[in-house]
Structure 1
Amino acid sequence: MNQQAATTGSCDLLITGAYIYVDAGWEISSGWIAITDGRVAGVGANSEPAPTATETIDAGGRLVTPGLVNTHHHMYQNLTRSFAPVVNADLFTWLTQLYPIWSQIDDESVYLSTWVAMAELLLGGCTLSSDHMYVHPHGELIDAQVRAAGDLGFRFYANRGSMTRSVEDGGLPPVEVVQSRDEILADSERLIARYHDPAPGAMTRMALAPCSPFSVTSETMRDSAALAEKHDVRLHTHLAEDGDELTYCQEVYGMTPVEYFDSVGWMQSRSWVAHFIYPSPDEEQRMAAAGVGVAHCPSSNMLIGGGSADVQRLRGLGAPVGIGCDGSASTDHGSLWLEARAALTLARFRCGPTSMTARDVLDMATRGGARCLGWEDETGHLTPGACADLVIWGGSELSLAGALTDPVEAWLRCGPMAADTTVVAGRILVRDGQIQNSALAEMLTAHRRESARLQGVTA
């Protein structure tokens, strides 16, 4: 079936000679994609006429996909990657050891860590990322993140995280990183008014994201849900991540994490949650029926050893399921391609060789992630009219030798793969595998200095 979009004469950017994964069920084995004004203007087979273009890229038979969507991250944590004292710790020990270090972050360290994280994500094929910034010891940290995204040209879904329950109130974090309910709500209102852009083609949107059932009060959870409804923004939190969380909720609230989530008004389609490892089968059904999305973070889950979400069952129930890198201090990388491959191998390890395909994973990493963020009308696919966020994938001739029959399967089964070209809103941000921003070396030097300051080591 010819699903080519009408194009008018010329376009800004034309990519030719590619195997194009447009969307689930729509692939073009040898085709072109035209981009105008930051949008997909048309797609077609090479046998069909293509428009003229200001710039043309010959993709030479390589795979082109929608840009990957990262549904859960903690970008500031790349300042404490592979921190030696906690590399083998369980989740709660890991958190309590790192919170005092993270209490030293400020606007400068958050700007640098966000810039570096986004640059790394672009190299791994990610064009849209959320970030769960829930530690707020000093300054206006979300503002610093938005500034970094703007400086790079990255599409960003900021999550205004929060914690109210310190160690003095039975929580895990120190008092230096928690805030009062009034501080959180006032800053949430400010950030939504200043940065949340609900318009088509937006580059920045805002969600409200109390950290977890064990780090904020029930009042803060309820108030955040009410504020999200008032301003029509989304909600995000960690949920059912760890066995200790299950014990905590039963002891403190007299219910499971999912029951608690429901009791504070979060069981709704504007919510998506990270991890979701310890629900009951009935709770999985209830969450899926309510349209709650799940951010699957396979590498982080495996490294911390806490289990993983049953994404095959959740997808079968109709729940939106995306993929997330999670914190750079637990996963220790920011490649959504690596997360996608981990999702494939983990699923097949758990449930057998027919349980998950590369196309299933690609759908999670694109459309699924966009559904979690409520952005599936414009992102996560390359249908005409969508945002022009895409990746031309590159791999070595050695790693792809013999992979001749299925470029999508080869994308995950062979490798490693990385972005040869990454386009966001029609702008080329990665070309020939290199970040197209002259500030990269300067940013890495400054980032190393800040990381050394936090960890108390010599840069």
Structure 2
Amino acid sequence: MKTLLIKNARNIITMDGERNKYPGGSIYIEGQEIKAIGTSIPYQDADKVIDATGKIVYPGLINTHHHLYQTFTRNIPQAQNVELFDWLLTLYDIWRHIRPKDIYLSAMVGLGELLKSGCTTVADHFYVFPDGISGELIDQEIFAARELGVRFFPTRGSMSLGRSQGGLPPDQVVQKEEVILRDTMRVIETYHDRDKFSMLRVGVAPCSPFSVSQDLLRESANLARSYGVRMHTHLAETKDEDDFCREKLGMRPLELMEKTGWIGDDVWYAHGIWFNENEIIKMGSCGCGVAHCPSSNMKMGSGTMQIMKMIKAGVNVGLGVDGSASNDASNMLLELKVMNLLHNHQHGTKALSAEDCLNIATNGSAKVLGWEDAIGSLEVGKAADMFMIDTNRLEFAGALFDDSSLPILTGTPRVDMTIVGGKVVVEDGRLVNVNEESIATQAHVAALNMMERATKFNKK
């Protein structure tokens, strides 16, 4: 078991229960586990020693909602300045032409960008399986995550309600329910690792109320609970979704979740903007979680999550970047800054401090994923997941007064080092395990080819 010693840090921001900080502190790690942390630990050597002089150490950020496959549809003019349903209708016609290699490369790009912004655990929601393409597309994301060294929580998404059946997506990107359930079992049985320090856990994730049937929701819930895995879906994201549920189903989105077994402490929703106060209280009482995705919500005018009411009601709230195409970036530090600014504007400047936002992106996100025993803070017995910033960088000059808030309020949203499970995966701001330029070149070509296929098909 390899050991790692990080010593002489300018500060260690633990985000533990007391939010302890250790100026001049050190961390000793065996394998994935933190064995000692503080200013006077009984370890002076290790297999690898990192001198962290001038650097601040933070717990790794945890992304609770993403769509990595969307990385190749960023910055597309026809998908800008539109709301969710129109945005989806535009992009479905491109995503239907995606190929396995596109999935792998888009995951490499998205996960790489996340690692370079201090993110050490990523939950991803993959739900597009085009006709005629291998059903094992989510596997490509898993291969990319392993290569990069990120802690990964892919959720096997699904769409079964095509346009011909009253749903939103075109029939060419939906699957039969028996196919969905069979492949979901395959993914869980092949990849899910329940170990405390697992690098890969799997969830079950029908896409949304407007793209799956009630039968699929029920069967997915039963399947997930039979395997003891967590459940995830989009919910209460837009007024259009709320209207769809009322008009087509005769109920509100959360009522649909209750009816189909999608409520409980093993469930987390993405977005959660359009809940009323009674629904928020209900979610808090049963332990539901919500992935807050501020940049995506702002970009598409979806609304602002009632974060203070949720926290007060005991709802588990974590941070999510959301799909690259509804954010146009995969950067967790940038998302933290946006969250802080948004809620200063929405709830007043004393509602959520930058450190409070950091707590949501670490401890809050860990609780949303049901993984708080291992990740979310820097403590003895937890995983050695962390990032560091070098305070000697020009953008931090004259700003060294609050180490907890520093990378959220100031500087550019990038880190100098990221460590996952005791292994360095970003060093000097660059990915360690892959050639960034090679990945970028391949991704450019693949994205252009996918767009060309879509353009030719749509002209027919």
Query: What SS does the corresponding residue of 2:203 show, helix, strand or coil?
Result: strand
- Distance, in Å, in 2 between the alignment partners of 1:197 and 1:70 is 19
Change (3 A) 1:144 1:43: same
Q: Of 21, 25, 31, which residue of structure 2 is paired with 1:37?
A: 31
Counterpart in the other structure of 1:20: 12
Residues 1:102 and 2:98 aligned together: no
Q: CA deviation at 1:311?
A: 1.3
Aligned to 1:65: 58
- Measured against aligned partners, the alpha-carbon deviations of 1:132-162 in whole angstroms (never above 9, x if no partner) come to 0010112111111111111111110011000
TM-score (norm 2): 0.95
Contact kept? 2:6, 2:52, Cα under 8 Å: no
Count of paired positions: 449
Shift of 1:174: 1.1
Deviates more, 1:396-405 or 1:349-358: 396-405
Other structure's SS at 1:127 match: strand
The SS at the match of 2:268 is: strand
- The one of 146, 151, 161 aligned to 2:142: 146
1:6 corresponds to: none
Q: 2:272 aligns with which of 258, 276, 284?
A: 276
Quick one: distance in 2 between partners of 1:395 and 1:324?
26
1:145-294 paired onto structure 2 within 5 Å: 145-294=141-290
> Shift in Å at residue 49 of structure 1?
4.5
- In structure 2, how many angstroms separate the alpha carbons of the residues matched to 1:181 and 1:304? 30
- In structure 2, the CA distance between the partners of 1:114 and 1:313, relative to structure 1 (3 Å rule), is same
Task: Give the distance between the partners of 2:99 and 2:397, measured in 1 at CA.
Answer: 47
Identity of aligned residues (%): 40
Contact 2:148 2:434 in 1 (8 A): no
Alignment-mate amino acid for residue 119 of structure 1: G
Three-state SS of the structure 2 residue aligned to 1:348 is helix
Amino acid at match of 1:57: I
Q: Secondary structure at the match of 2:212?
A: coil
Q: Which amino acid aligns with 1:391?
A: F
- Assess if the C-alpha contact under 8 Å between 1:158 and 1:206 holds in 2: yes
| Alpha-carbon shift at residue 440 of structure 1 (Å) | 2.4
- Give CA-to-partner distance per residue, 1:428-453, whole Å, 9 cap, x none: 00001111124322221111111001
**Pairing 1:91–2:84 present:** yes
Deviation (angstroms), 1:309: 0.9
CA contact (8 A) 2:388 2:415 kept: yes
Paired with 1:157 and 1:130, the residues of 2 have a C-alpha distance of 4
Q: Deviations over 1:340-394 (max 9, x none)?
A: 1111110110011100111111111011111111111001111111111110124
> 1:71-128: per-residue Cα shift (whole Å, max 9, x none)?
0000011101011112111110000011010011121110111111111110010000
Compared CA separation, residues 317 and 253, structure 1 to 2 (3 A): same
> In structure 2, what is the equivalent of residue 317 of structure 1?
313
**CA deviation vs aligned residue, 1:187-208 (integer Å, no higher than 9, x gap):** 0111110000001211111000
Equivalent residues of 2:331, 2:413 under 8 A apart: no
SS of aligned partner of 2:433: coil
What TM-score, normalized to structure 1?
0.95
Residues 277 and 438 (structure 1), Cα distance of their counterparts in 2 relative to 1, 3 Å cut: closer
- Find the counterpart in structure 2 of residue 77 from structure 1: 70
Match of 2:439 in 1: 443
Q: Distance in 2 between matches of 1:162 and 1:169?
A: 15
Q: 2:129 aligns with which of 129, 136, 142?
A: 136
Say which SS state the counterpart of residue 325 (structure 2) adopts: coil
Aligned counterparts of 1:68 and 1:34: Cα–Cα separation in 2: 20
Deviates more, 1:24-33 or 1:378-387: 24-33
Whole-angstrom distance in 2 between the partners of 1:272 and 1:156:
16
1-structure distance, mates of 2:419, 2:385? 5
Partner of 2:186: helix, strand, or coil? helix
**AA partner of residue 215 (structure 2):** E
Farther off after superposition, 295-304 or 135-144: 135-144
Tell me if the contact between 1:18 and 1:32 (Cα under 8 Å) persists in the aligned partners. Answer: no
> Are 2:9 and 2:56, in contact at CA under 8 Å, matched by a contact in 1?
no
Amino acid at match of 1:22: T
* Aligned residue identity for 1:20: I
Q: Structure 1 residues 18, 39: CA separation in 2 closer, same or farther (over 3 Å shift)?
A: farther
SS in 1 for 2:419: strand
Q: Which residue of 1 aligns with 2:458?
A: none
Cα shift readout 1:381-427 (whole Å, capped 9, x = no counterpart): 11111111110124664432222331112221112241111001111
Distance 2:408 2:440 in 1: 29
**Deviation by residue 1:189-246 (Cα, 9 ceiling, x = unmatched):** 1111000000121111100000001100000001111011100000000000000111
Q: Shift of residue 48 of structure 1? A: 5.0
The residue type paired with residue 121 of structure 1 is L
Q: 1:58 deviation in Å?
A: 2.0
Amino acid at match of 2:155: N
Relative to structure 1, the CA distance from residue 438 to residue 209 in structure 2 (aligned partners, 3 Å threshold; closer, same or farther) is: closer
Contact 1:395 1:415 in 2 (8 A): no
Unpaired runs of 5+ residues, structure 1, are: 1-9
Which amino acid is the alignment partner of residue 53 of structure 1? A
- Residue pair 1:297, 1:326 contacting (<8 A) in 2 also: yes
In 1: Cα distance, 2:29 partner to 2:433 partner = 21
State the partner residue of 1:433.
429
Between Structure 1 and Structure 2, the one with more strand by share is: 1
The SS at the match of 1:159 is strand
Note if contact 1:14-1:53 (Cα within 8 Å) is conserved in structure 2: no
Q: SS in structure 2 opposite 1:43?
A: strand
Cα deviations by residue, 1:36-83 (Å, 9 ceiling, x for unpaired): 1121121011x5544312222222232211110000000011101011
